[in-house]
Every structure is written in structure tokens, then in C-alpha cells.
Amino acid sequence: EIGWCDWSSDVCSSDLDVINTAHQNGVKVILTVVNFDGDVIHTIMTNSTVKQTFFNNVKSRMIQYQLDGINIDFESLNTADRGDVVNNFMAELSAYVKSTNPEAEISFAGPAVNWSGWKFQGLANACDYIFIMGYSFWGSWSTTTGACAPLTGGSINIANTVNVQYSAVTQSAPEKLILGVPYYGLKWIARTSQPGASVIDWVSSTRFTTDQPNSQTYGLQWNTNNQVPWYRWQINDTSW
């Protein structure tokens, strides 16, 4: 099993307790490095000095806290950086870390849909595995309600992600793919009681710990098109 941790500051004693307990129970702990700024990511990946500093810092943190691997969660990459640039970067990072820790797991958080530029086969070759972010197909930007992670239905869905978007990797090295699934839902105020209703307003993301009991209160529904559960309740005559 793998525990995903995300630290933006120094690790405190409670974090160390979690790491130690995880290791005592045979659970690996992976450091996630996050950046969502395309221009900053470009500099990290292409400026040799910045890149080497990044490599040094990441490996140092990994050694300091006896972590089992590194996941690079770079999002909003510039289109030109999504192919060979990021693939070469990941290959270099992997070689650098594994030169002193051959067992380290180096991975990348990949998008559910290749809107343009990604070379997933090369990315899979450059690291140990790709963690597919199989969620946020709908969200705060949506004009209709929809599933966070639809299994089927529409032009993009989880089945399409695995069988089409990542087809080259799925067919050649499926062990290099980990499908990340959401333990959260999406909440809107909508105009009708049916799936795909027109949105009046976005409310928030929700959590399974709240959604499960709420679904028992309001009635669990099943969307056969997307193959996902959902629930609803009426606010007034014009909204749900």
C-alpha cells in the first residue's frame, strides 16, 4: 500500500509518527511535490541550475525523513512542456534519485485526458509509474451537474481515460498505471431534479463521510449513464 503525503513546510513530530507507523505496518510513504504554475514549472524543468537545486532538495527531503519515493504533481504545464520536456525531466530525476536509492519509487501525477501535447508512453518509460488523476471531470466551472469521475457516458470518462487516452501504456505496461479515484463529490444548486441539470450555482466539493449518511437521508440514486451514485433534495419550487 502507498500513503500519499503532501508537505509544504517542515515535517512536525506528528508527521514523523505517521511515517514511522506506516513503515512499521509495511506501508510506503510517498512525498508529493506540487506546483500548478506553468511558467515556474518550465523554469524548474529547463533551467539547469534550478533543476539541479530542485533535484538536490527533493532527494535531501526524501533521505531526511526516510521516504519511499517521490510523486511529481506538476499541473497546468505549458503545452510545449508536456511531451519530451517533462519526460526528459522525469527520466533525469529518476536516475538522480535512484543513483543512491535504487528502490525509490518515482512517479508523475498524470491528467485524465490528453487535451494536447502529452506523450504518455514516454512518460511511463521515464519513471516507475503514472498516477492518473481520475477525477474532476465536472467541477465548479461546469454549467450542468455531472459526475466527478464518470465510469462511462459522454465523450470522456474513466473507461476512455484507461482504454483510449493511456492506450499505449495500458497495452504495453499496465503495471505502470495507478488509477486515482475520488473520495469526494460535487455539489450544486440546480434547476431540475435530474442528472445533467442546468446549474444555478456551484456550492462546494463534498466528502464521503458526509455524503454517505446524506444519501441515506435523501435517498441514494444511481446514474446508469455514468455508473455513479448521487442524491438530491428540493430547496424550493425552482431549485434542487
pLDDT above 80: residue 5: no
CA nearest to 197, candidates 143, 147, 154: 143
Give mean pLDDT, residues 195-216.
Answer: 96
Per-residue model confidence (pLDDT) at position 51: 98
pLDDT above 70: residue 15: yes
Calpha distance 95→106 (Å, rounded):
9
CA nearest to 81, candidates 135, 42, 55, 122: 42
Per-residue model confidence (pLDDT) at position 186: 98
Q: Per-residue pLDDT tens for 163-188?
A: 999 999 999 999 999 999 999 999 99
pLDDT above 60: residue 117: yes
